[in-house]
Amino acid sequence: MSRDKIRVLVVDDSPFFRSMLVKGLSEARDIEVVGQATDPYDARDSLESLEPDIMTLDIEMPNMNGVEFLKILLPQWNIPVVVISSRGDLADAAKRMGAADFFQKPDRTNKDSVNNFLAELPKRVRGALTKSAKMRAPERGSTNTGAGRARDGVVVALGASTGGTQATAKIIQSLPKDFPGMVVVQHMPPDFTKLYAENLDKECALTVAEARDGEKIEQGKVLIAPGGHRHMTVQKRSDGNFVRLSPGEKYCGHCPSVDKLFLSVAKELPGKNTLGVILTGMGNDGAKGLLAMRNTGSYTLGQDEKTCVVYGMPREAYEMGAVTRQAPLHSIAELLVGYVRNIK
């Protein structure tokens, strides 16, 4: 790791056990407790602000239990979790949800039990971090980053408008060359999208091109919808996923329309193997389609207000309940890579 100490976030609603965990971890020279949280909602905010390396998590907490939180957490944050709970009967459930380890809480009335627990705690944290690092590491001899390995069937759909040319470029430039296939609708005049794609292709590890009708969506490639009078949609076939370019009237005020793309993804490619991203832009194009994607199992991201040039399209999507997670522009590429890596 780039930092000298292992940064730990402790999550437990019990002040007694939080204090015990902090004490046990802080006595290890290579571990630093960077924050404490009392429930999953508090933990979510702390994850964003503190960026810990690993988290300890209780199961029985107010608002949401730890197993439910794991189910929501791990697709969004690529972080190892050690579940620490008195509920030993839920150990298997926690591990099925992705916990790196399960550690039984001690009997607080038994001094030997507490001391043994405190002595073992730092070892469990180090072990979970090492285990997670090995699981994420590329295979020997491979140049694959692991972000897109065996992800040929995964598709990422992205839509943007005003301010989106820079925002979209920033995301694509941050993605590895083995990232899953992407389809992009960026509101631009005719002829500009071809030049935009060509310039991005020179600046990115991914191959970027203006889409052609019937072109296959492939790992390592980004297809930009041509500006003009054709909508871009996706089509699932037995030999893969493809884009279709079809003449049509404006939809939500645009052609191509982000909504048309997202709605086709929800229809043709429902499930966790699709991801939707809505970026800065005026109006509401994309909100309805992103909601359809989320309702059919897709992971969806919306750019936050602070980093948008125009917080229109992302706001509409967020207020409609279409966004799984709202995030600043600089975090979106990392979130996409983390989610793809954890698709099972």
Catalytic residues: 161, 187, 285
Q: CA distances (Å), 211 to each of 8, 37, 56, 169, in order?
A: 45, 46, 45, 16
Give the chain as a 3 state SS string.
CCCCCEEEEEECCCHHHHHHHHHHHHCCCCEEEEEEECCHHHHHHHHHHHCCCEEEECCCCCCCCHHHHHHHHCCCCCCCEEEEECCHHHHHHHHHCCCCEEEECCCCCCHHHHHHHHHHHHHHHHHHHHHHHHHHCCCCCCCCCCCCCCCCCCEEEEEECCCHHHHHHHHHHCCCCCCCEEEEEECCCCCHHHHHHHHHHHHCCCEEEECCCCCECCCCEEEECCCCCEEEEEEEECCEEEEEEEECCCECCECCCHHHHHHHHHHHCCCCCEEEEECCECCCCCHHHHHHHHHCCCEEEEECHHHCCCECHHHHHHHCCCCCEEECHHHHHHHHHHHHHHCC
Farthest CA pair distance, the chain: 75
